[in-house]
Structure formats: structure tokens, C-alpha cells
Amino acid sequence: MKNIFKVRPGNDMKFGVTRVPDGVQFSLYLPDTDSCELILYKKGNKKPASVIKLDDKYKIGSMFFVVLEKSDKNTDKRDIEDILSEDYEYTYITKNGEEIDKYAAVISGRENWGKVCSASDVRGRISLKKFDWKNQESPRIPFKDMILYELHVRGFTKHSSSKVKNKGTFAGITEKIPYLKEVGINAVMLLPCYEFNEVLCEKSYGEPSDFYEINKIGPVVDALDKLPESKKKAILDRRKEEAIEKMAVEKPQVKLNYWGYGTKDTYYFAPKASYAADKSDVPTEMKTMVRELHAAGIEVLMDIYFSPGTNINMMTECLRHWVLNYHIDGFRINDDVMPSIILASDPILSGVKLLTSSWNSEDLKRAGVVKKQNALAEYNEGFMNDARRFLKSDEGMTGAFLSRTLRNPEEFSVINFISHVNGFTLMDLVSYDIKHNESNGENNTDGTDYNYSWNCGFEGPSRRKAVMNLRMRQIRNAFTMLFCAQGTPMILAGDEFGNTQMGNNNPYCHDDNVTWLNWRKTKTGDEILEFVKNMIKFRKTYGALHQEKQLLYMDTKNYGMPDVSVHSTQAWKPDYSNYNRMLGLLLNGQYAGENEKSIYIIYNMYWEAKSFDLPYLPEDKEWHPLFETFNNEFHEIPKAKPKPKKRGRKKTSLIKERKTIVPARTVVVFIGE
């Protein structure tokens, strides 16, 4: 060791392992401790290469700082940071025994997903290699223009049908960038992808046969009774194989925390090694993914769940680390542990996107945060719950859904979604009345009982044409509600092609085909995907759907119509009665920009067709149907005719009001042209 490194006290107030002039500094926060030891291992060796005792000479406050410099006798031509990054691992010996640095940038020993590791297997690694960002910068997409996509790094491409080379990895996401661009996604939210311990316990949580028995294929048997016995048996055998495929092919040896929330032994500064194709250089693979997503105009946000009791300073340093070293564009944070106001006022973090369950307007003002500044957003299930209930025709939901649709506060943005990681997928939302979590091994007691779902008349998979037609229409209705709301829309990965979890609304312990996206093309999936693409194009085209400010129901600019107006079956007469399930929403395009079009959206969530008035438009415009969800029809809008030049004062007379019939459980959208 003496021939390789020189050791001296440090004083650079940084955490973890960092570059300093002429060396590399190791720092450690240990309150109420007089001494500790830094242990250096050669990679793969069980015995230490060096033990460096740290006493008061290396201590400032409650921090220990030690700098390693390259010795004059060291003939290695590499820089000190490259030597340490490529050849060494480290731990600390404290009064509690051998510990891993909570600020470690890389963790070794957890490269294999689902493997039970002993404490001695896990060590910190140094990551100081320079990375070529190729001058790529963040797209800096305003919330109002964002199409957010929530995905699990492993589950997104782990299935064989993903057809990527590096399945279940950061590199796999990079391979899927062309698909994201094709859909119209411009921001991704990565579920926990820092280093967490996914192993909950060494106990199997079920056999594939258990899953088959629980998710009985009985619901389809009645449709097969008329078939010959041999053909019926062949179909049922195939269904059994499909059900078994929903579990891992081999019996799981451990119970997993697949999502990564709230696990023990979490290292928030390190990308998850088992999510990398190249286990030897995990940081570079993740940085490459971020760089290539940015090059494609796609922002990268991370979902970080801080466990209760996590040090506030450590949480702040963690988020800064991801911004400065990985160019991450934003975070979803659990603000019950991390005070959101600290984030909003931090010199570095206040410039990135921050999503929490709520923001207090008065607290923001007191902290000097008076505008959105393209940074703050609210992320909770409010829109989801109200939209789901309106979708399935619950009583008294018109006003609540309207409020969620138009919500766009001045101080922060709002993230809207119909489904997310916690709960049913969108396909399951219209296919199941109740959760089916038996395969989790908790007697179906886990997961929420309040899904606000409706199976459209049949529980589970069905080939009945009437049932499937209704489910497809409800899916189109749901996406229309999402993309016509003023907040930022977020899609759960796979919803855009009808992904199912077989009615499991909490598959936290499934690392198999229940949680892996199945990319095999089906007619149903293709139809949903095409609709989603069209809806994203529709939202991006018309500014009235994603405006800068909260709409006020007023004509503050004397355009002849308010910025937004509410209607029902009768124009200009909103109906918020308990029994009403219909809503007309007129968005005045002029408030979104000089050349923007007005949009009229009719939601008929009643189970019968209804006649709706079409509100008046100025004499030089009329309503043109753009699309409707009943038959999934999109229409071409005729090109606007040149307006004849008129002399004198412009008249504002109105054309005669018209009516339209809207089928049951259908949304119709008109464009004023």
C-alpha cells in the first residue's frame, strides 16, 4: 500500500468518494464516534488490501475526511481516480462493525437479481471515471407539453417478446427509444432503480399450479360447452399453459420486493447493478441511457422512496447527486419523509422537476417560490379516483370530474393518470370488479379494495364480442379523459397496448409474466396503441388542451366566449345533479393562442344515447367532429377557407344552434373551424 498511495487528512465538505486536487477523498458521517477504519479491497478479494485508521486528525465535526494520493513510487500510468474506480472496493469499520458507505456510488455483490447475499458479499465501489455526455442537454419540456410514461426498468423489456438484446436493463430501455418516440412519449418516470435489496425472504410464495387454480379458467368454460370434447380439452390445456406462464417457469426460491419501495439496505446514490447489462460498469450504462433519451427529446425522472428516518441532508445530497452526475431531470418524492418545501427552495433542486403528493401554496410563497418555474407538480390519486368513478357511471361525479379535468394551479402543475404502479392496469380496470391477488400468498388481503373498476359484465378474460367492444370503448373513454385534461398526462407502461396483470392490483412480489410487459402484438393491443398515438397527436396539436394558466370560466379578453364553459344536454346549462352523468366542455382556443382552435368535448357516461346541443360559434366558424370513442373513428378536418376581406366593423352574429346524438358511454370531440 505504501508504494501505491499516500494518505492525508481531507477538508472538502463533500459526501462519499469524490475527486479533490491531487487525489481522491473518502468522507464519512459518524456522529458520536472518535475513530473508524477505511478498508480497501482489491476487487474480488476477501482479504483487505489496506486498512487505514481514521482518528481525530481526520475528523471535522462529525465527519471523517481522508485523501488518497498517488505515491511517487507508483508506476501505474493511470490517474488515481481510475486506479481506485477500476481496481478497488471499500467498506468502513465502525463501532457497529463493518459497514457500507451509504453514499457509495456503486454497490458490488448484488449484480444478480433475486440472489440472496450475505453481508460480506456487499461492498462499496468507487465511480470517478469521466463520461462523455456529447454535449447533450436536458430537453427541459414544460409540464404542460409533457407526455409522461411510468415504467419499471426490469419489467419493461424482460419478457422475451420485447425483442431487445439486453432484456430487463438500462440498455434495454435505450433499445426501446424508437418505440417511445413513435408513441409520442417525451418523458419517462423510472420506478426505483437505485440499489435496493429485492429479497424479502427465502421462501417460495406459490407454485404455478396454484396460480392456475386461483385464476380458474372456468369463466371461459361456459363459452366452450358447445364444442366437441377433444377441441374443448385442447383449448383448456392451452389456457392452462398461458396461466402457468404468468408465474415464473421455475419455482421461485425467494419472495421478492419487485417494485423496490421501502426495502432494507438501500443505497440511494448507486444505480441498481442487476438492472445493468454490463455489470462491470453500471454507472456508464445508466448515463448512456439518459444521454440517448435526451438526444431523442425525452426527459428522465426517477421515483425515489426514502425510508422513514432517512437523514434530511442525505436525501438532499442524494437528489443533487443524480442531477449533477446523471443529468436526471426530476423526481417523484414521498413528502411524508422528505419535506417538500426544502426541495422547492434548494439552489440546485429548485431547477428540476419535483413531484410530491401535495404542495402548500402559502408555504411556497413564504419560501419565495411564487410560480411554477417549470419545476413543481402534484402527484396523487385524486384525478385517477374521480375519473374512474365518472368512467363507470357512479352517481354525483360530474362536478368532481370537471374540477379534476380543469385543475391547473398557478403555483404548481398537476400530474394526471388513470392507472399507475399501485393498482390495476387500465385493461384490468375494465375487466375485473374485484382484485385477484391470491398468487401473492397473502390470502388476497393485500392491495386496495377500492379500485373503482367495472368488468363490463363479465369477470376476467372474455371472448364475448359485446363485452370486449364495451371494454375497448371504456379504454378509449379513459384515454380521452386523460388527454383532454389540463394537467400533465401520465401513462402506465403497457396500458397503451392493453397490458394485463390478470386482476392483480398489487403484484409487488412477482418477477414474472405478471409484471413483465408482453409485447406480442394482438389485434386488441394494436387497436389501443393506434388510438393512444392519435390522442397524443391530438393533444400536442391543440393548445386549448394544455394551457399555461388556470381557466376562470370568464371572458377576460372580450373574445365573445369565456375561456371555458360548462354544458350538459342543453347548451350553456351545466347539470351537477346527483343523477347526471353527462358533461359538455367548451375550451375557447383564443385563450391558448391567436390561431388556436376551440374544442367542444361531450362526455356521455350514461348507459343510453342522449341528444346534446352544440353551443353557438361565431358566424365564420362551425363545429366539425374530430373523433368519437363509440366506433373509434377519427375524421379529417376540412381545411379552412380563406376569409374574405371585409371593410368596416366586424360583426359577431352567431350561427344557429345545432344538436348531435351521442351514443351510450361515449366521448365525442368537435373542433371549431
- Distance separating alpha carbons of residues 399 and 201, to the nearest angstrom: 47
List the domain boundaries for the chain: 5-99, 143-201+253-431+446-501+516-543, 208-245, 549-672
What pLDDT does residue 222 have? 46
- Distance separating alpha carbons of residues 393 and 387, to the nearest angstrom: 10
Q: What is the pLDDT of residues 315-342, one digit of tens each?
A: 999 999 999 999 999 999 999 999 988 8
Strands (DSSP E) found in 423-534: 488-492
CB count, 10 Å around CB of 366? 11
197: which 3 cell numbers?
435489496
φ, ψ of residue 22 to 5 degrees: the values are 70, 10
Q: Is the entire prediction scored with pTM above 0.85?
A: yes
Identify whether the C-beta of residue 266 lies closer than 8 Å to the C-beta of residue 160.
Answer: no
537: which 3 cell numbers?
397527436
Using pLDDT thresholds of 50, 70 and 90, give the confidence band for residue 218: very low
User: Selecting from 1.10.10.10, 3.40.50.980, 2.60.40.1180, 3.40.1190.20, what CATH number does the domain 549-672 have?
Assistant: 2.60.40.1180
- List, as one string, the DSSP characters of 525-547: HHHHHHHHHHHHHHHHH-GGGS-
What pLDDT does residue 239 have? 63
What pLDDT does residue 118 have? 86
In degrees, rounded to 5, the angle at the alpha carbon of residue 575 between the alpha carbons of residues 569 and 576 is 145
Using pLDDT thresholds of 50, 70 and 90, give the confidence band for residue 264: confident
CATH of domain 5-99: 2.60.40.10
Q: The domain at 143-201+253-431+446-501+516-543 falls in which architecture?
A: Alpha-Beta Barrel (3.20)
Q: What is the pLDDT of residues 486-528, one digit of tens each?
A: 999 999 999 999 999 999 999 999 999 999 999 998 999 999 9
φ, ψ of residue 131 to 5 degrees: the values are -125, 140
Examine domains 143-201+253-431+446-501+516-543 and 549-672 and report if their fold is the same: no
In this predicted structure, the answer to whether residue 620 has a pLDDT above a threshold of 60 is: yes
CB count, 10 Å around CB of 583? 26
Write down the mean pLDDT value for the chain: 90
Lowest mean pLDDT among 263-267, 381-385, 460-464: 263-267
